[in-house]
Structure 1
């Protein structure tokens, strides 16, 4: 009763808050006029009709089926059911009716048979069935009165369909029957709750289960049977042995109860008689070794318990008999050494836990048995030296972790043992000079980093050792000299950046050191005269730019130096063009 009152008080406070919020919002909504909405089926008949306000249902709504039968009426407030909710049978009579407040069922509820006769009535309090509920048969005969207060079902009165009262003021019995007249359930009541003999039958009249209740709780020995009469179980709820059988007669479970609690060894079997599980209990709590098996007879699990908590060694196996996992628990938490195996029987990884977190050295292996990686944890966080390996056993990379982040010098290798990459981390970010090499050991690049971003002078090399590219990046922007080279050492591109934009003169050469173009930039845009050359060294083109647009003479030459085309531009627009001595 105390818990019920607490629940109702909490819901009352929530309800009060919702009322205040509703009143505040209603002041705003009251200024608007709802829009009447009618939805239609494909056959043109009305499916629903009601009001919408701010895109959600407001007020009274009606719903019909495709045959124009009214099937539902609902009151809404701001899209939430608020007020009455009524459902109808196809014959037009009410099926049930209830009231809601802001989406929660609250107040009287009634339900009817299709013939219009009242079936039940009662009350909801903040979504919970409450107080006295009354029930009737379809012939108008009273069926039962039950009290649903205190979150329990308490019988007050019960009548059969022909009017015979079998429970009066909470005392008596209830017989529920199949259509063939066979008793389905027989329950004796005292002070509104099951007290005394109980039994249930199959539809063929054979007993299903029987036992005794005391104050709604099962006591003593209960028995159940299969539909064909075989024993199903004997369960002692106070003291004694509990046994469950398969239909074949093979035991399924056996264990002992003392003072209503499991005590001693409990055993479970598969249908073929092989053990499925054994466990020891002390006062309903697992204590000692718990063992499980697969149906093929191989062990599945061994685990130690103390006071219903995992404590001590635990082992798991695969169905083929190979170990899967082995470790240790302390009060349900992983602690100590743990080993995980691959399905082929080789170790997959192994290490230590502390308070449920990885702690100490951990090692992982490849399928061939070679170490994949090895390192340390501190309460679940990577710490100290970590080394990663190739499958051939040679080191792949190595370095230090601090608080789960890479720190200090890290080195990466090729499978042939030559260095591939080396540099420093600071709190997981690349910082300082990072150097990389080709597989043959020759230098590949030198790159400066600041917090994982290139920053400083960066040089890249061709496989033969000659420079490939030279650039400077400051705060993610290219600055200063920029040069690229051919493998033979000759310059390919030479220019300057200012704030990541091309600036000044840019020259492009072929691998024979023959200039093929010269460009000029200002703030990243073409400016001044641009020139290109033929392979023979003669001028190929002259183009004038201003503010990024063609402006002035634009001339193209053939390899003999003769003009092929001449044009004049002004601010990017063609003014005139002459080719082959013809005026356009």
Structure 2
């Protein structure tokens, strides 16, 4: 506060000198509240405010301070609440916002950049400790490009793609499962935001492809993992040694391949009549799977898959190299991880159930033709429902509920896109947000609330673009800011019209 006061005194001295040099007509003027305290003070030129001005609350605390040049708002303007705390900073040039606008709210700080009164570049949100919460790129007043949402530990947890103000894609990344293990897609980025790596995890283990990129976005390395074990790249292109054992009559008894003397690939065992009785798949000398395999190399009938330590990983049937019928998958400890069925085409079908290692249900979903279709429910380890809704041909449809403890969200989907009224709730059950959507675009009145139930912000959207008067409130319910929008572009700030010398077409 002392630094701000010193800065304010220096700025006041500078602009006081400028005002005095503007001509003999510049007169320093003071206005008063009814209680006798100063309400505002500054220079009048030809009866109009010019130069540096300050306004005060009735309690004597500074309310705003800033300069006018040629009667237009200019340079830095600062606004304070009635307790004297800095609440808003705006940079102007010739009456238009030029540079950063910084909003200091009770629970976050928002930093926006304006060029000739139009929002451009990144808008960033920070929590009270200074940690980045959200970054959204703007072009000509509209969201454009890749926005990022962050967890309090700094990891990116959601990517949102905007095109001309419309949200076109949303991707959740870098999440943990109920046991605090990495699960799903994880991505990391260079300091300039370029993708550095992406890895798929399954309950703490790398499972799938792990990719690394250079700073120009070019793929420089790719590896494949299965349950945390790195798979040797392009094994099928490596030279394998074929070995055979024979029956006394010369018929093949065993046929297997080796790499550097270690069993690798398929091992087939034949009966005396020449039929394949058993087949094994080995990797680095360890049994990976066993079952029946046809002469053309297709898996048939019952198969068992194994972890590297020899424990059963999965069991089920194949038909012409495609999983079919009932299958069960297991944790390394032997507990069932998931179970369900495949149709004759190798696609998921019917009801599938996932379990925690404790044996409690984790998720239940129904499938048809390989796509989620029907009720989907996800549970915490204690049995509490955290996600529930219906799928139709792989896309969310109808009412959905998300309840992750620190927030609760509910609303309807149509063909995978949010539609109608959506609501968010705080852990105490109080409403945090309500607003309607059309094809995933906000539309109509939207309201946000503080945990105490008072309004935090409200305003109108028209198909994803802000329109009309938007209001922001402090936690005590007092009005903090008024902004008027037309088709997503700010037109008034606290009731002061913004000159429209140049109309910007958002399309």
TM-score (norm 1): 0.39
Instruction: Return the structure number with greater relative CO, CA threshold 8 A, min gap 6.
Output: 2
Structure with the greater alpha carbon radius of gyration = 1
